[in-house]
Amino acid sequence: MRLYSRKMLFPHRYKHSISCFHQWIVFLITIFVRVQCVTSLSDNLMWNITSNPVKFGNTAELSCYIFNYDTTCTDELRQWIGGIQYTSLCQNMICSDGTKYQVKLKTACSYTLMITVPRIKHKNMSLTGGFIDIHVSMEDVFPSPKCHALLAEKNITNSLLLITSKKEYFYDVDLQVNHPIHICEGNATIYCYLGKEEVVVLNEYIDDCSDIATGNCIFSGDQVAAIIAGVVVAVISICIGVFLCWKKTRRNDANEDKPSAPLGPMSIYNITDSSADIEWQAPEHDGGGPVEQYQIQYRLANTPTWKEAGNVDSTTYNFSVKNLKEYQDYYFRVTAINNKGPGFPLESGDPVKLSDKPSAPVGPMSISNITDSSVYIEWQASTMDGGAPVEQYQIQYRLANTPTWEGAGYC
């Protein structure tokens, strides 16, 4: 038994490119999972990834087609082999691990393997003693993630502990948050970047003021039975008074607080080897006093220290950050300031690498019109041109089992 393969030629008349995301899929399926379709026919079969792109937590589908001239394919032995030990995963319609692998027969000659890998194996959130505790465990994650935490739209990533441990080719990830909570309602959110893919790991709504406000003023049944009625009434009255006072303070803070964060997402454009232009929108709430100016800051991705870039007046919503270093990754943030001081900042999402070269074309790549010697592929223009218009795109290809890229042409 052997796997049938065809060498694919790429004529110049077709649009084509190889996107980063498609490279990851081919790399993971062919190298990490190492799956092959085999049959009793020696040469007449071909397999490919039909679930393109493969996304976090979704089922991956590998499709195998048998080229049988009478189109019955009923007498052929069909088998998927692969995994770390390169053993039989499924033979005909029976799989060794039914919780992870399934097969379906679309037609007599089309044999599809579906691979399901659990991702989030545990998550829990609780409110205790004025703190929010979050614990999330994930398994079989690739690549190593970069994660952020929000509480009622406020960035609390500084309270997020990220622990990763490598297991063969993948990572087990443990996320822990312990942060003071001063709200009655809002969303607790944790999101991670796996490469360029953003995945929401947790998004839970909080609506439980009693746990926050009363703290240790909750008594067990035995304790209440042991306390006389007068003491119980006094304790309950004190707890209610603290709760009402806290609610009133929160309402006053909402009216007299500093400005909210400027509205995003932040737009970053005109990126060169030493500068970048950013743009934002006015905050939704000015905190009871008009916004007087905006403060712009930046920092290197590998340092926690923010540096001043400049200030603009309240009617200006863009700024050009200059004197930056080429090939460095930067974060940017903008803060509205009124007569009470600076409010909450709006921060950029992914780090921005300064370069006079364009960014990768936008995917996912569209692949169609597949023949025995050619494919037709399409992509979208790069989001960052490096400060000058893109003149052309270079197209390359390689066999899945070789690391060498070969030129196919320009367009």
Q: Which residues contact 269 (CB under 8 A, 6 or more apart)?
A: 276, 277, 279, 384
Using the 3D structure, point to which of 154, 184, 215 is the last residue of a domain. 215
Domain that holds residue 323: 257-359
Residue 148 CA to residue 192 CA, distance in Å, equals 6
- Same domain, yes or no: 103 and 174: no
- Same domain, yes or no: 153 and 74: no
**Average predicted confidence (pLDDT) for the chain:** 77
Bridge partners, residue 162, by sequence:
175
- Same domain, yes or no: 287 and 309: yes
Domain assignment present for 291: yes
Residue 390 CA to residue 357 CA, distance in Å, equals 9
- Same domain, yes or no: 182 and 198: yes
pTM of the model: 0.35
Cβ(282)–Cβ(317) under 8 Å? yes
Domain assignment present for 374: yes
Using the 3D structure, point to which of 215, 240, 265 is the last residue of a domain. 215
Average pLDDT value for residue range 141-165: 90
Residue 71 CA to residue 92 CA, distance in Å, equals 17
- Same domain, yes or no: 165 and 193: yes
Residue 222 CA to residue 261 CA, distance in Å, equals 48
Residue 30 CA to residue 82 CA, distance in Å, equals 9
Domain assignment present for 5: no
Q: Report which of 219, 249, 246 is spatially closest to residue 234, judged by C-alpha positions.
A: 219
- pLDDT higher than 90, residue 147: yes
- Same domain, yes or no: 355 and 365: no
Q: Which residues contact 166 (CB under 8 A, 6 or more apart)?
A: none
Q: Report which of 322, 275, 264, 317 is spatially closest to residue 293, judged by C-alpha positions.
A: 317
Q: Report which secondary-structure segment, H or E, holds 22.
A: helix 20-27
- Same domain, yes or no: 221 and 199: no
Residue 176 CA to residue 123 CA, distance in Å, equals 10
Domain assignment present for 227: yes
Residue of 214 and 122 predicted with greater confidence: 122
Q: Which of 28-42, 309-323, 361-375 has the lowest mean pLDDT?
A: 28-42
Domain assignment present for 6: no
Using the 3D structure, point to which of 256, 284, 309 is the last residue of a domain. 256
Average pLDDT value for residue range 11-20: 33
Structure tokens that stand for 357 in this block:
């070269």
Which parts of 32-106 fold into alpha helices (H)?
none
Domain assignment present for 290: yes
- Same domain, yes or no: 137 and 61: no
pLDDT tens per residue across span 263-288: 989 999 888 888 999 999 999 988 88
Q: Which residues contact 328 (CB under 8 A, 6 or more apart)?
A: 300, 301, 353, 354
Q: How many domains does the chain have?
A: 4
**Residue 134 pLDDT:** 93
- Same domain, yes or no: 328 and 283: yes
Q: How many helices (H) and strands (E) does the chain have?
A: 4, 28
Average pLDDT value for residue range 331-343: 93
Cβ(176)–Cβ(153) under 8 Å? no
- Same domain, yes or no: 302 and 243: no
Q: How confident is the model at residue 136 (pLDDT cuts 50, 70, 90)?
A: very high
pLDDT tens per residue across span 27-59: 444 444 456 666 655 456 666 676 666 666 667
- Same domain, yes or no: 365 and 286: no
Cβ(363)–Cβ(287) under 8 Å? no
pLDDT tens per residue across span 66-86: 776 566 676 567 777 876 667
- pLDDT higher than 90, residue 135: yes
- Same domain, yes or no: 112 and 138: no
Q: Report which secondary-structure segment, H or E, holds 229.
A: helix 229-256
Residue 244 CA to residue 184 CA, distance in Å, equals 12
**CATH of residue 137:** 2.60.40.10
Domain assignment present for 1: no
- pLDDT higher than 70, residue 255: no
Report percent pLDDT > 90 for the chain: 25
Average pLDDT value for residue range 336-364: 86
Residue 355 CA to residue 361 CA, distance in Å, equals 15
Residue 280 CA to residue 385 CA, distance in Å, equals 20
Domain assignment present for 52: yes
Edge-to-edge strand ranges of the sheet holding 276-281: 263-269, 276-281, 318-321
